[in-house]
Amino acid sequence: MQRRRTAFRRIWNSAIAGCTLVLAACSSLTRQPAPEWQAPAVRQHVKQLLCRLPSPCRHFSVHLSPLDRPLAEIDFARRIVISKGMLRLMHSEAELIFLLAHEVAHYELSHRPPRSAAKRLPLELAADTRALEVMCRLGLRDAAARSLLTRLNEPGREVVDESLKELASTEVRARLAALTGCAAAQHETLLLDPSAFRQLIEAALAASITPAPEGTIR
């Protein structure tokens, strides 16, 4: 009798697990896809830089968001989303490498979205540490990470919830204070020099925001 009960429990648990997977799959299939910023040259360049990271780049996909506010995130489907507003802030490939390595670190460290904004800091610090290790391995200067974080902390930066603006500023200051340097770092770029990198970004930004002439039928 005990053996029958054990076998029944195993079958029941397997059935429940199977239903859960089916429901999860259906949920992901019915979810509305996020709008994309059509900038193929920029997307290709981001993917090339992603492949310079130690983690296999084939495991991750890159998606560009048309949002004008700075945004970068990764989900558990290994989708890295970077907004137009975030790329507008980028001054060099080294800054973009730091951002990509930071997001990949969140995935590799199994970070889940915290229940409150106040619990974000330990996760951000851990991802920063991993990202800096990647930068050091690639011979990139940590100054790029400092520059990007400083730019994200500018007074005029848009924050989704204005009531969290001071918390966000405090978080960035703490992240800056925790950054350590790379002793042997010498490079600031991998594929394009800063001037060529900015030209690539600005060309895509200009093409994506040019309004259609008045009276044009779409």
- CA distances for 84 relative to 99, 134, 150, angstroms: 14, 24, 18
- Residue 36, pLDDT above cutoff 90: no
What's the predicted TM-score (pTM) here?
A: 0.76
Residue with tokens 């296999």: 56
- Residue 76, pLDDT above cutoff 80: yes
> Residue 205 is inside which H or E element, if any?
helix 194-209
Spatial CB neighbours of 151, under 8 Å, sequence gap ≥ 6: 89, 91
**Pairing mode of beta strands 61-65, 79-83:** parallel
Average pLDDT for residues 175-203, to the nearest whole number? 84
**Which is higher by pLDDT, 185 or 207?**
207
* pLDDT confidence of residue 134: 92
**40-209 architecture in CATH?**
2-Layer Sandwich (3.30)
Q: What is the pLDDT of residues 106-132, one digit of tens each?
A: 999 999 888 777 788 899 999 999 999
> Where is average pLDDT lowest: 5-9, 66-70, 76-80?
5-9
DSSP string, 37-87: ---HHHHHHHHHHHTTSSS-GGG-EEEEE--SS--EEE-TT-EEEEEHHHH
**Residue ranges per structural domain of the chain:** 40-209
* pLDDT confidence of residue 38: 87
> Rounded mean pLDDT of the chain?
78
Q: What is the pLDDT of residues 3-14, one digit of tens each?
A: 554 444 443 343
> Where is average pLDDT lowest: 16-25, 137-146, 148-157, 175-184?
16-25
